[in-house]
Amino acid sequence: MQKKIAIIGAGICGISTAYLLSMQGYDITVIAAKFSPDITSNRAAAFWFPYHVRNDQRGNNWCRTSYDFYLQHCSKATGISIIQLIKAVKPHSGDEDSWLSFMPEGTCRTLPVSEIPKGYALAYEASVPLIETQIFLPWLYEQLTAAGAVFIREEVNNLDVLTNTYDLVINSSGLGARSLCNDETTIPVRGQVVLLEPGFPSHIFLDNQTPAYIVPRKDATIVGGTYEENIYTEKTEQENLDDILARATSVFAGLENRKIIGSWAGLRPYRPAVRLEREPGKNIIHNYGHGGSGYTLAFGCAAEVSTLANEVLQ
């Protein structure tokens, strides 16, 4: 008989795991309080870049596995493409370069002085996956539905109880883990972005220190951002949006003439380290706390969860 797995959470971390496990023939039920497009995973920019994980040795593998997955799944239908990213570093900014060791071979180069954007001391060009969440999340849901997965809209208050019904419970509740697991180390980090009419520029621009990032999606150019710890409201604030635009237009010429078409805010589920482990003695695996790198890590973490799941269920 097929083993039954419940996955708590319908964000990128839960759904990527559901996808990999459904490909292995497990009977999958996704239980979530909210689904796309009403979740943090729809508020991401969302491009592949090692962000919150640079001090975590496990992160390197997770990032690379995710990179490979996206590379193999580039298409119009998935909304995934490989795009040029220019990362620029201001003089004396203290920006560290540990992220370079996370880049797959041949995907990144230091730009010659003649190509460095004006006002910057250093710049890199990288090829990274851009994941258009508005296309990719529905695509994943469709794949799961076609594979026979069941979706239940429900708030879960107790993981142990679910182990009576399912052979394995996987907890990918993101920020929800703060109360579900009584884990106070998981905190929200709000990010606000402005949306401009699409069509410009043709590459991602990233300046972590200012901070400013510009991401060209098909439906909008996303201009970010903010990094606000312990803010629990998903609302945008006009003053912050004005700041975001002012910063972006000061470092990236040509943006100032683009029409504003919207804005949003999302809460990154930050934890000092991602929690990916089996709870001792229980058929529960935790996979949450991916902060500002959920897309960058998702399929690497999902692969590790799948390995753990196979061990638990064999």
Decide whether 31 or 140 has the Cβ nearer to ligand FAD: 31
Q: Does 288 bind ligand FAD (CB under 6 A)?
A: yes
DSSP string, 89-155: E-TT-----GGGGGSPTTSEEEPPGGGSPTT-SEEEEEEEEEE-HHHHHHHHHHHHHHTT-EEEE--
Q: Does 65 bind ligand FAD (CB under 6 A)?
A: no
Tell which positions 3-32 bind ligand FAD, by CB under 6 A. 8-14, 31-32
Q: Does 194 bind ligand FAD (CB under 6 A)?
A: no
Q: What is the rounded distance in angstroms from the CA atom of residue 121 to the CA atom of residue 184?
A: 39
Decide whether 9 or 59 has the Cβ nearer to ligand FAD: 9
Question: Which tokens hold the place of 44?
Answer: 């991401």
152: β partners = 31
Residue 92 CA: distances (Å) to CA of 46, 122, 239: 28, 10, 28
Q: Does 193 bind ligand FAD (CB under 6 A)?
A: yes
Q: What is the rounded distance in angstroms from the CA atom of residue 299 to the CA atom of residue 66?
A: 5
Element (H, E) at 269: strand 260-278
Residues 138-167, one symbol each (x = binds ligand FAD by CB under 6 A, - = not), give -----------------xx-----------
Q: Give yes or no for a contact between 136 and 79, defined as CB atoms under 8 angstroms apart.
A: yes
Q: Which of 173, 236, 240, 283 binds ligand FAD (CB under 6 A)?
A: 173
Q: Taking the complex as a whole, how short is the minimal distance between the CB of residue 53 and ligand FAD, in angstroms?
A: 10
Q: Taking the complex as a whole, how short is the minimal distance between the CB of residue 131 and ligand FAD, in angstroms?
A: 8
Q: How many CB atoms lie within 10 A of CB 133?
A: 20
Tell which positions 241-280 bind ligand FAD, by CB under 6 A. 266, 268-269
Q: Which of 4, 33, 134, 228 binds ligand FAD (CB under 6 A)?
A: 33
Residues in touch with ligand FAD (CB under 6 A): 8-14, 31-34, 39-41, 43-47, 155-156, 172-176, 180, 191, 193, 224-225, 266, 268-269, 288, 290-296
